[in-house]
Every structure is written in structure tokens, then in C-alpha cells.
Amino acid sequence: MIEILASPAFNTIQDLGRNGARRFGVSASGAMDPVALAAGNALLGNDDDAAGIEIQTFPFRLRFESDTPFALTGADHDATLAGATVPSWWCRRARAGDILSIGAPRRGSRVYLTLGGGIDVPRVLGSRSTHLRAGFGGMEGRALQVGDIIPVGEAGRGASGRSDFGVEPPDVAIPLHGPSKDRVLPVRVMRAGEYDLFSEAMQATFWSTPWKISARSDRGGYRLAGNKLTLETPVEMRSHGVVAGVVQVPPAGEPIIQMSDANTAGGYPKMAAVIQADLWRLGQAAPGSSIIFSEVSYQEAVAAMAPVDDYLAKLRATADLYRAL
């Protein structure tokens, strides 16, 4: 078990998401950066979707109640275990009584703590992910609080192996598809259902604008500021299904990218959809940072997942081998 000693707000237990429940009006939730979570689990020999802690407010501190292997992935940050530095994208073994302290990231916005055996809270609709708005999953459906005692599952095949090594982060191992100019993150999208409702001028504005992620953004959606996307004639639409990555345009004209806690349905026109291969990078984009969209085809979107899948497969194979040495 672990005990939470400091957790400012909105830090939650997440796995890879609650799939198959949208028909009940329940969003997927899950890690905003699923690559970081899967990588942390691979370092420890856990299943890819074992639950961990998504940390997005700092400082975060906890005490280990027993000897436990753990990994830190996601945003580039400073951390210490019993006063000794722990690099990011690294796994290590804690001893009973050790305190882990995690500071604010230098780059990126979310740190992931995975534990040998995963966090052992009950599954709700097939997932341990916290759904804050609905109030279920994770730790009683809420953010973590000081004093919480969190159960950890029995560590698997990686429990007795070596546990002091790290890995190259994916944002280094997987090159960006395009140049990041002036710290503007390029994000690939496909056109969505209502793209042609917008004039050519509005379409050009969508592609050319460096969009700033608003401070009003959260796990439900990223609100973008930069220009207004307006329709020449207002359109009334029935609500329809939406998923993470969909870029909707409300009447005010400022786009919203649906994220992990996205609504399951909505009636705003859809301009585009972020491809799966770029959602993990977007999940690490902090409020105040900027992105710019570029268009890809369906075939290019499918192919773009290959480097991500290869990265995780090679990481797991290498970690399994290293632990066995």
C-alpha cells in the first residue's frame, strides 16, 4: 500500500480507459498520455493497462508502506526517493517507509506513477479509471487526498528482477512529424463531418492559426484561443457521438478538442479529429502552450501509429530482458 502525503488537486487513478460504455453515456476517461502510462507499466512488467496515478498538480508526495517497485514517466520533472534523486522515465524499488516526492515539470504537464502489480482498486464498467464528473472509479470517484491509503496489487513477473534503469522518452525516440516552430506543437488531424459547412476563409484560418490552449482547459476538453471560426449561416444539429480528439466549434467560434473525459455526445459542428498517434503528445501540452493543425489522410493516420506501437513493444522487450539479467 501507499499513503498520500501531499496532493494539491485533480490527481487521479487512471488506466487506459473505460471502453464499451459510451452507449450508457459514460465517457472513456483513462490516462491523458496513454503512452507514458503503458511505458511505465512495461518498465515494471505489469500489463499495459494496469492502473497508475496521473499527477497534474504539484508537489505530490507519498509514503510506501511496503517494499514496492515503481516507475515515473510522462512530463520531465524532478523527483526524490528517501532524499535521493530519481530521474524521469526511470524505475526503482522503494523500501517500506520511503517517501517519494515529485516536483512540477520542466517540460510537459502530467507525470505518471506506476507501481509493481498496479493499483488495486475495484473495476467499474471494466476500468479502474477515475470519472470525476460521474463520481465513480479510482478512489471513490474523486481526486486523491492527503491521508488516502491506496492498495497495490501483487507484483508480477518483474517483482524480483532488477529495478534501477530507465528508458528514452517517446518525445525523443519518436520524432515530430513536422517542425515545432517557436514552441508551437504540430498536431495532425483528419477532416470531420461538418468541415465543409465552414467557408474557405474559415477553413484557411483553422489551418494557419497557432491556437493557444486556454487556462479553462481540463481533462474533458482543451479550449483553444487565437481566432474565431464562424459559420455564414447558423446550423442547428442533433446531438451525435463524439470521442477524444474531436475538434468541435461552439457558436462563439473558439474550438474545443475533446479529451479523455470527453462527453459521449454533442451537437456542435465538428471541424476535425486529432489522430490517435498525436493524442499522447497533446495530453502533455500545458495550458498556455500553442498548437497548430496539419491535415493527414486516413491511411496516414493509421500508419502514424506504427512508430508508437514499435516504441512500446521494444521498450517492453528490453525491460523484460534487463530485469532478467
Please state, in angstroms and as integers, the Cα–Cα distance from residue 118 to each residue in 84, 96, 114, 258, 260, following that order.
Answer: 23, 17, 7, 27, 20
The rounded mean pLDDT for the chain is 94
State the pLDDT at residue 178.
67
Please state, in angstroms and as integers, the Cα–Cα distance from residue 14 to each residue in 32, 35, 63, following that order.
Answer: 9, 13, 19
3-class DSSP assignment, residue 282: helix
Cα–Cα nearest to 91, from 65, 69, 117? 69
State the pLDDT at residue 234.
78
CA distance 20 to 315: 28
State the pLDDT at residue 157.
47
Residue 98 sits at φ, ψ, to 5 deg, of -65, 145
| Domain boundaries along the sequence of the chain | 2-169+312-324, 181-303
State the pLDDT at residue 122.
96
State the pLDDT at residue 233.
81
CA distance 147 to 3: 6
Tens of pLDDT, residue by residue over 9-48, are 999 999 999 998 888 889 899 999 999 999 999 999 999 9
State the pLDDT at residue 241.
85
Strand partners, 81: 84, 100
Chain mean position to CA 278:
11
3-class DSSP assignment, residue 182: helix
Chain mean position to CA 254:
23
Q: Note the pTM of the prediction, 2 decimals.
A: 0.95
| Three cell numbers written together for 59 | 508537489
Residues of the chain with pLDDT under 70: 156-160, 178-182
Cβ-contact 100, 94 below 8 angstroms? yes
Please state, in angstroms and as integers, the Cα–Cα distance from residue 174 to each residue in 25, 240, 244, 281, following that order.
Answer: 35, 34, 22, 11
Cβ-contact 97, 47 below 8 angstroms? no
CA distance 2 to 152: 7
CA distance 139 to 133: 13
| Three cell numbers written together for 124 | 467499474
Chain mean position to CA 44:
19
Cβ-contact 242, 262 below 8 angstroms? yes
Chain mean position to CA 107:
14
Burial class (CB in 10 A: 0-12, 13-18, 19+), 63: middle
Residue 293 sits at φ, ψ, to 5 deg, of -95, 145
Q: Which of 209-241 are b and which e, b meaning 16 or more Cβ less than 10 Å from the residue's Cβ? A: bbbbbbeebbbbbbbbbbbebeeeeeeeeeeee
Cβ-contact 68, 115 below 8 angstroms? yes
State the pLDDT at residue 266.
86
3-class DSSP assignment, residue 181: helix
State the pLDDT at residue 150.
97
Residue 22 sits at φ, ψ, to 5 deg, of -65, -30
CATH superfamily of 181-303: Cyclophilin-like (2.40.100.10)
